[in-house]
Amino acid sequence: MGNPIRVMLHERDETRDLLVALRELTAGYAVPDDACPSYQALLDGLARFERDLHLHIHKESNLLFPAALAREEGLADVS
């Protein structure tokens, strides 16, 4: 896997799998009624982290990677 974008796509897929597992383990980041403030903060932080990471992945997949691939193709045409 020498192509950097292909490597990042593979890492993205692995990350998505880990997020699914984390969401399942935490019952969708549901805070139990008897949770202490620290546990509530942890679950809230994990939910924010997941949202931020999904936004990051969206930007990579829909903006950065297509632009990089187009530029790469343009450079290959010049050679």
Q: With 80 as the cut, is the pLDDT of residue 1 above it?
A: no
Backbone angles phi, psi at 51, to 5 degrees: -60, -45
Nearest 5°: the CA angle 65, 12, 50 is 110
How high is the pLDDT of residue 9? Answer: 86
Long-range CB pairs of 44-53, under 8 A, 24+ apart, other chains included:
46/22, 50/19, 50/22, 50/23, 53/15, 53/19
The two tokens of residue 78 are 């010049």
Q: With 70 as the cut, is the pLDDT of residue 78 above it?
A: no
For 6-61, the pLDDT digits (tens) are: 888 889 999 999 999 999 999 999 999 999 999 999 999 999 999 999 999 999 98
Q: With 80 as the cut, is the pLDDT of residue 67 above it?
A: yes
69, 38 contact by CB (below 8 A): no
